[in-house]
Amino acid sequence: MAEHTGSGEALPFSEVYYPSREAYLEYYRKSVEDIESFWSERARELEWYKTWDVVLDRSKAPFYRWFVGGETNINLNALDRWVGTSVFDKVAYYWEGEPGDTRVVTYRDLYREVNRLAWALKEIVGVKEGDTVTIYLPMIPELPATMLAVTRIGAIHSVVFSGFSPQALADRIVDAKARVLITADGFYRRGRVIKLKEQADQAVVLAAEQGVKVERVIVVKRAGIEVPWSEGRDVWYHDLIKEAPERAYVKPVPRKSDDVLFILYTSGTTGKPKGIMHSVGGYPVYVYNVFKWNWDPRPGDIYWCAADIGWITGHTYIVYGPLMHGVSQVMYEGAPDYPDPGRIWSMIEKYGVTTFYTSPTLLRLLRKYGDQWVEKHDLSSLRILGTVGEPINPEVWKWYYEKVGGKRAPIVDTWWQTETGAAMISPAPGISLVPLKPGSATYPLPGIVADVLRPDGTPARPGEKGLLVIKEPWPGMLMGIWGDPERYIKTYWARFSRPEEGVWIYYPADYAVKDEDGYFWLLGRADEVLNVAGHRLGTIELEDAILTHPAVSEAAVVGAPDPVKGQVPVAVVVLREGYEPSDELERELKETVRKLIGPIAVPAKVLFVKKLPKTRSGKIMRRILIALLEGKPIGDTSTLEDPAAVEEVSRAVEEFKRLMKSS
């Protein structure tokens, strides 16, 4: 990935946003003078059953607890607060299916649906407060409705991206010990029907093998296809809803601020995904405020976040954030370039989208198709443009700014993670827009104390590449890792903290640079995690998958730079005695990854070698593989056991690059 840390110059904006760095920095400075009173003020904008006794309990750091003593339910803020207001009759979701079918869901519709489903989950299915419910749904309105119904009755949702394989779903069901699974018959992707219920059924079998029995499977009818059915266990969502009184009302269960609101799994540096836990009190406070700062929501807005709800971006920026602001949204089921590369632009025009939020990967893809697709459409409704998930190259930033936004809309580049709940470093047009620099996420948001350190923990100089850290807790922070408190400390707090001095420093594992003006430039992961098309993939997870194949003796997975996806996984594999490299074997290994994790994780290439570069103590030297793939010098090789291994990999990599160029 290109590294871009230039200082850039300020860009002109429309009448709507006059950049004022001073106004922003003044607001920021005040916010961090006393973060407790700052967040306490911010939290008062939300509805609570009971306000908190303590804003921030630091006594069990790094298990920080926010708004302790407070009680609320996210439904109060996302749905119930709109009852009897003009928002109640506003559209919540303009939904569009991939084939072009549409649905319009108002806040009133959503409220009714959520209440009826909550009633049915409680009274018929028997879901109890504190239970976990796994949700494996495509991008249909039933997905937000289900999340809200689950949290309404005080249960915890674990949404699993519908692109994950049955095995990946099973692992997440088992880890969360979920007894109820909510899924759909199927959905549309690139003109095909994905048979989701079949995959869900396979996952239920796999979970049972690991000792977790899913007792109920609730199935939304989306594709109208025939599905396998298990009498007594399976129930149609629509039948279940019909059991509830038409005017069912379920009081949102008061929950403690430091109860778990939801779990969302993300990849890390081991084979096992981490169940990131978000909180009942802190998460909504953070999300509500950051949403306002990022998008400056106004009554007539049509907002579209083109992510999938299966990731944190969708949880925060399609479900909870926008609903807490009474915003009208566009929600889309399918592939962004189907049936043609103009789909996104034509939908922006059709719905008059004012605020559009997507990933650099999608922008690179759409840009590659050529400007004619953009130019065909009137995009003058756009007021703010956002990006998330990966570093955005300055050229793509400029294209987005000029071609898509017509130089009227600022680019809000938001840096954050599943663990942080919402954006942490980004422009804040809702407060005061700072002058933008293409490729920089600008400044930390209010209340966020960020810095860049050298590996030894001393501050990096301006312009010097180092490691990003967050030096104070914030309300949107994860509460921990589900079932694994030690891993929480080890992963996020061990790198730079000094517990003996009471100093706790959050380590996101991202490289960054702070420039002379204090702007942050995010430069990608600093650990063994890949970022493929804005999705986080653990290299060890992929290696474990490949190693299940009987032909494989050793495997190392690393990221290769890719012009559209940012990175793609490449597997370097040593075969067992008696097996020979072949295209067939490469296909089988890719298929294994597809089966065990999902299509997003499939390696772009499998390189067969006789030997992996290793240290004398037998550790695979990934650094060398990465350097070769990135075409950079391989650096210090004094610990290398056998230089011949490097030559062999190097030849394989050159071959791969030739193939990539010609394709």
CB of 115 to ligand WT7, least distance (A): 30
Residue 333, interface with ligand WT7 (CB under 6 A)? no
Out of 96, 185, 390, 648, the residue judged to bind ligand WT7 by CB under 6 A? 390
Non-local (6+) Cβ contacts of 413 within 8 A are: 386, 387, 388, 392, 397, 426, 427, 439, 440, 441, 442
Residues 532-571 that bind ligand WT7 (CB under 6 A): 534, 536
The residue (of 204 and 312) whose beta carbon lies closer to ligand WT7 is: 312
Query: Residue 365: enclosing H or E segment and its boundaries?
Result: helix 360-368
Q: How far apart are CA 572 and CA 649, in angstroms?
A: 8
Which residues are CB-neighbours of 480 under 8 A, at least 6 positions away?
63, 277, 488
- Give whichever of 90 and 398 is closer to ligand WT7, judged by the CB atom: 398
Shortest distance, position 417 Cβ to ligand WT7, whole Å: 4
Q: CB-wise, 257 or 316, nearer to ligand WT7?
A: 316
**480 or 508, CB closer to ligand WT7?**
508
Least Å from the CB of residue 573 to ligand WT7: 26
User: CB of 81: closest distance to ligand WT7 in angstroms?
Assistant: 26
Residue pair 477/420 in contact by the 8 Å Cβ criterion: yes
* Cα 282 from Cα 36, distance rounded (Å): 12
Q: Which of 197, 222, 525, 605 binds ligand WT7 (CB under 6 A)?
A: 525
Nearest approach in angstroms of CB 531 to ligand WT7 is 5
d(CA 327, CA 80): 14
Cβ pair 164, 206 in contact under 8 A:
no
Query: Which span (369-377, 412-420, 576-584, 588-596) binds ligand WT7, by CB under 6 A?
Result: 412-420
391 vs 435, which CB is nearer to ligand WT7? 391
User: Which residue among 261, 312, 404, 585 contacts ligand WT7 (CB under 6 A)?
Assistant: 312
Nearer to ligand WT7 by Cβ, of 585 and 600: the residue is 600
Based on CB atoms, which residue is closest to ligand WT7, 255 or 274? 274
Quick check: 416 binds ligand WT7 (CB under 6 A)? yes
Q: Is 415 in the site for ligand WT7 (CB under 6 A)?
A: yes
The binder of ligand WT7 chosen from 447, 508, 566, 613 (CB under 6 A) = 508
From CA 525, how far away is CA 567, in angstroms rounded? Answer: 11
**Side by side, which strands form the sheet with 520-525?**
450-453, 466-470, 510-514, 520-525
Nearer to ligand WT7 among residue 425 and residue 620 (C-beta) = 425
Site for ligand WT7 in 424-483 (CB under 6 A): 441
**Interface with ligand WT7 by CB under 6 A: which range of 61-69, 145-153, 389-397, 640-648?**
389-397
Interaction between residue 418 and ligand WT7 (CB under 6 A):
yes
The answer to whether residue 281 forms part of the interface with ligand WT7 (CB under 6 A) is: no
Residue whose CB is less far from ligand WT7, 214 or 512: 512
Give the residue with the Cβ less far from ligand WT7, 40 or 289: 289
Let me know how long the chain is: 663
User: What letters, b where the CB count within 10 A reaches 16 and e where it falls short, cover 6-42?
Assistant: eebeebebeeebebebeebeeebeebeeebeebbbeb
Binding segment for ligand WT7 (CB under 6 A), chosen from 108-116, 145-153, 382-390, 444-452, is: 382-390
**Token digits of residue 455:** 């590996």
Identify the residue whose tokens are 């420039």. 515
Choices 19-27, 134-142, 498-506, 520-528; region in contact with ligand WT7 by CB under 6 A: 520-528
Q: Of 72, 151, 313, 328, which one interacts with ligand WT7 (CB under 6 A)?
A: 313
DSSP 8-state symbol, 441 = -
Separation between Cα atoms, residue 497 and residue 484, nearest integer Å: 19
Beta strands in 253-402 (DSSP E): 255-256, 260-266, 274-279, 302-305, 328-332, 355-358, 384-388
Paired with 525 in beta bridges are 510
CB of 629 to ligand WT7, least distance (A): 18
Shortest Cβ 84–ligand WT7 spacing (Å): 34
By the rule CB under 6 A, 358 interacts with ligand WT7:
no
* Closer CB to ligand WT7, 134 or 531, in the complex: 531
- The one-character DSSP state at 445 is P
Nearest to ligand WT7 of 509, 649 (CB atom): 509
Q: How far is the CB of 496 from ligand WT7 (least distance, A)?
A: 16
CB nearer to ligand WT7: give 151 or 359.
Answer: 359
Smallest separation, CB 419 to ligand WT7 (Å): 7
Strand 192-194 versus strand 187-189 pairing type: antiparallel
> Any idea which residue has 């939801």 for tokens?
262
8-state DSSP, 576: P
- The residue among 124, 84, 132, 129 whose CA lies nearest residue 108 is 84
Query: What's the CA gap between 544 and 526, in Å, rounded?
Result: 21
**Of 92 and 532, which has the nearer Cβ to ligand WT7?**
532
Dist. CA 541–CA 221, nearest whole Å: 33
- Residue 266 contacts ligand WT7 per CB under 6 A: yes
The residue among 75 and 440 lying less far from ligand WT7, judged by its C-beta, is 440
Residue 375 sits at the vertex; the CA angle it makes with 372 and 379, to the nearest 5 degrees, is 145
**522 is an interface residue for ligand WT7 by CB under 6 A:** yes
**Long-range contacts of residues 67-71, Cβ cutoff 8 Å, at least 24 apart:** 67/43, 67/257, 67/258, 67/281, 67/282, 67/285, 67/475, 68/257, 68/258, 69/257, 70/43, 70/256, 70/257, 70/281, 71/254, 71/255, 71/256, 71/257
In the complex, least distance from residue 444 CB atom to ligand WT7, rounded to whole angstroms: 13
Bond into 62 cis (ω within 30): yes
> What is the size of the binding site for ligand WT7 (CB under 6 A)?
22
Q: Does 5 bind ligand WT7 (CB under 6 A)?
A: no
In the set 199, 414, 440, 567, which binds ligand WT7 (CB under 6 A)?
414
202, with CB counted inside 10 A (0-12, 13-18, 19+), is middle
Residues that bind ligand WT7 (CB under 6 A): 266, 312-313, 388-391, 413-418, 441, 508, 510, 522, 524-525, 531, 534, 536
